Structure 1
């Protein structure tokens, strides 16, 4: 198993439920950077959407932590985060999750109505039929 990272940062209004661009086979799916409705469906998008690929889940989690550090100052309503887990706790949970073969999704609303979606998808994936977007076995 290996791990692919994906990310979206943009207008929150672009994330519409049941939108064709969010479903594999839907019009615009292969060109839209908007996250698919199902996490594993990232693997059905072209390889150009991959932000990183690793064999070691710890490296994938390090990518999540770096991405979080970049967006943390822009997270909307930081006062609500005081009751949320620390990034260290989130990273430890993510590592255990990936080691068990499950995908990890971190999402936040940012100031200005933007939205960030950081994802690490296991490949091959138990929830997505098909091949690795990079052709790995």
Structure 2
């Protein structure tokens, strides 16, 4: 198993529920840069949308942490997020999730109406029958805890 990173950063108004651009199998889906409704559907998008690929989940979590550091002060309502989990807690939880074969999504509204979605998807994915976007043929370990 390996891990692919995906990133959407753009207008928050582009993230519409039940939009064909977010639904796998629609014509608009393959070219849309907005996050899909199902996390595993990222893997069915073109390989050019992959922002990074790692065999070690620690490296994938390091990517998440760097992306977070780049936008931390741009998040909306910072004063209300003082009670939110620390970056240390978020990275520990992400590492645990990836070790267990679960995808990780971090998303925030940004000042000015922007939105950022950071996703690390396990590949192969437990929720999808799709192939690896990069053509790898890894297998999922049989002993992953849910």
> How many residues are aligned here?
137
* Residue 99 (structure 1) aligned with residue 92 (structure 2): no
Q: Distance in 2 between matches of 1:5 and 1:79?
A: 29
**How much does 1:7 deviate?**
0.5
Q: Distance in 1 between matches of 2:9 and 2:80?
A: 21
Give the SS at the match of 2:118: strand
Residue segments in structure 1 that go unaligned for 5+ positions in a row: none
Residue segments in structure 2 that go unaligned for 5+ positions in a row: 138-146
Q: Distance in 2 between matches of 1:129 and 1:18?
A: 22
Q: Distance in 2 between matches of 1:34 and 1:27?
A: 14
Q: What TM-score, normalized by structure 2, do the two folds share?
A: 0.93
User: Runs of at least 4 residues of structure 1 off by over 2 A?
Assistant: none
**How much does 1:28 deviate?**
1.3
**How much does 1:27 deviate?**
2.3
Q: What TM-score, normalized by structure 1, do the two folds share?
A: 0.99
**How much does 1:112 deviate?**
0.3
Give the SS at the match of 1:95: helix
1:9 matched to which residue of 2? 9
Q: CA offsets, 1:73-114, max 9 Å, x none? A: 110110111110001100000000000000000000000010
**How much does 1:26 deviate?**
1.0
Q: Distance in 2 between matches of 1:84 and 1:45?
A: 32
